[in-house]
Structure 1
């Protein structure tokens, strides 16, 4: 048979996949769908059940996969499917057969986190309040965040910048401003493109969001002015001298 594998939320762009349209295609083509909803589970849909719930196509998903490492801030993951499929995976999947079970504290913690997701929609509402404030504010400040429709917030850097320049920017954010974000480069994104990725949480305040946006504006101005380029060139020059001396 044919297995179509897709994501609920595409982890780099933040865009929600067209799951409902893919499910409709099952009427004309004989295939199964595996949905990796790592970024959608706990954050998307009326109850946090993910993108299939958001798009009202859960019944059309044959295998639903997600992780405990995103919205549940833990380790591990799960596959939800018909019992026969789950039993097949249980006794045929190498990562299952040769792996140990999750330690009990993580299992209990995961169950408690699942309970919080189900019983406290206000956490998700707060998350989305922060998401909308961050993404709208970044756009208003002239940042290109693509077409994200999820908490995943990419920030695309346009210009003749090398990775060493952006490393300095990220270090400045983290070490001097207390703002953490990750750098995404080729092959995850196309060659010549550099992307920063930030994801707000429900525990952030709107003041945190405002501060973060202001910090991004500061480092963007420094990047444009060539500050990080000069730092990178100086560092490379010093390292080269040390190698020559050695």
Structure 2
């Protein structure tokens, strides 16, 4: 009898992995064509913010989000080493229990100073910052109006929070207003936007969008992950650059881009914001960042306050690369350089992967971005410039793209 029951269970048991079969097949087809796995690259040694050893050869890094090149800053590294000596390797606890050290308070104070805001809350990752803040402030009965191209962490925060989610066409102010107009009177409303959208590197018309949001009584959250440190007179992001930062209720950011380490944060001027430390589950139920990480982040943020020359050089790199790739015949994600991200549009995944590999053979690493992460099912080679890329390196990169593009038949 027992054996019969076991057989029946075996026959009806569903393979929980079957839902991934199309993706498994796509990956197998890609690897069968002889292409190196573009999602399995190992960096054997990192030599600087712009160069690493990959597959035994020196490779220029153009896909790391290390926008301000802070990962090898001597002061940042020294702060991390000192914190390791003084506080050990980790906190082994949540921020609301034993996981708040002097460094956690110091980095939150640095963020408040950087943004000129009253409150800052640091999470263990940028993903958790979006997950935690969005799911906590917008719940059942509330409405979230967001750009269709929003980051996965934003969508996951919406899903976890159980609010009614209303997406609108990318960067379309009129479509956003149409959605807001339909929301019932008196309902809680949160509009979520990004300063820089990470796939194409385009910026949002935040000033106009925020004005519309406020017209309908909505609170506004702006994710400045890809603009902090670089865009705006003081590096506070697109909202600062468009002179509307004071109208933003919540700014979300990350330490894993311009700051050069790992972690996430939210800054706000809302008078009740501190209650979030007790009600935000991804904050309460996660171990806090190691002391060495918050020490490096704090030092980096304070240095970014006075990084005007670095910002100017990064803009110069962005303009040069955009112009060079366009003149070489590549199709780019934006007509003009709008950020440190320049996306090169590929005809399809197969040729995109071949181009990625050809660039790697040239000694250049870029990101291969594919559906469903990309808008409109595009395959992209995503270039992330760094303030530490020299003018000579940028010219080298243009030459590498040109040679690889001709080899693969893209241009």
Tell me the CA shift for residue 72 of structure 1: 1.1
1:33 maps onto 2:191 in alignment: no
TM-score of the two chains, using structure 1 as the length reference: 0.85
1:20 maps onto 2:217 in alignment: no
For residue 182 of structure 1, what is the aligned residue in structure 2?
A: 367
The residue matched to 2:240 in structure 1 has which SS? helix
Evaluate the alpha carbon distance shift between residue 85 and residue 50 of structure 1 in structure 2; reply closer, same or farther with a 3 A threshold: farther
CA distance, structure 2, for counterparts of residue 54 and residue 98 of structure 1: 35
Tell me the CA shift for residue 184 of structure 1: 1.2
For residue 166 of structure 1, what is the aligned residue in structure 2?
A: 352
TM-score of the two chains, using structure 2 as the length reference: 0.52
For residue 139 of structure 1, what is the aligned residue in structure 2?
A: 326
Structure 1: tracts of 5 or more residues without a match: 226-246
CA distance, structure 1, for counterparts of residue 313 and residue 379 of structure 2: 30
Evaluate the alpha carbon distance shift between residue 67 and residue 190 of structure 1 in structure 2; reply closer, same or farther with a 3 A threshold: closer
Question: Between Structure 1 and Structure 2, whose CA radius of gyration is higher?
Answer: 2
- Deviations along 1:104-146, one digit per CA (max 9) or x if unpaired, are 1111111111111112211111111111111111111111112
1:224 maps onto 2:388 in alignment: no
Tell me the CA shift for residue 185 of structure 1: 1.3
CA distance, structure 1, for counterparts of residue 285 and residue 357 of structure 2: 39
Instruction: Specify which structure has the bigger relative contact order, considering alpha-carbon pairs within 8 angstroms and separated by 6 or more residues.
Output: 2
Tell me the CA shift for residue 208 of structure 1: 0.6
Structure 2: tracts of 5 or more residues without a match: 1-187
Asked whether the equivalents of residues 234 and 305 of structure 2 are also in contact (C-alpha less than 8 Å), the reply is yes
For residue 93 of structure 1, what is the aligned residue in structure 2?
A: 280
CA distance, structure 1, for counterparts of residue 376 and residue 193 of structure 2: 23
Tell me the CA shift for residue 209 of structure 1: 0.6
The residue matched to 2:193 in structure 1 has which SS? strand
For residue 247 of structure 2, what is the aligned residue in structure 1?
A: 60
Asked whether the equivalents of residues 80 and 86 of structure 1 are also in contact (C-alpha less than 8 Å), the reply is no
The residue matched to 1:53 in structure 2 has which SS? helix
Tell me the CA shift for residue 218 of structure 1: 1.1
Evaluate the alpha carbon distance shift between residue 85 and residue 198 of structure 1 in structure 2; reply closer, same or farther with a 3 A threshold: farther
1:213 maps onto 2:398 in alignment: yes
- Deviations along 1:183-232, one digit per CA (max 9) or x if unpaired, are 1111122565311100110111111111111111111111118xxxxxxx
Alignment length (residue pairs): 222
**Alpha-carbon RMSD:** 1.8
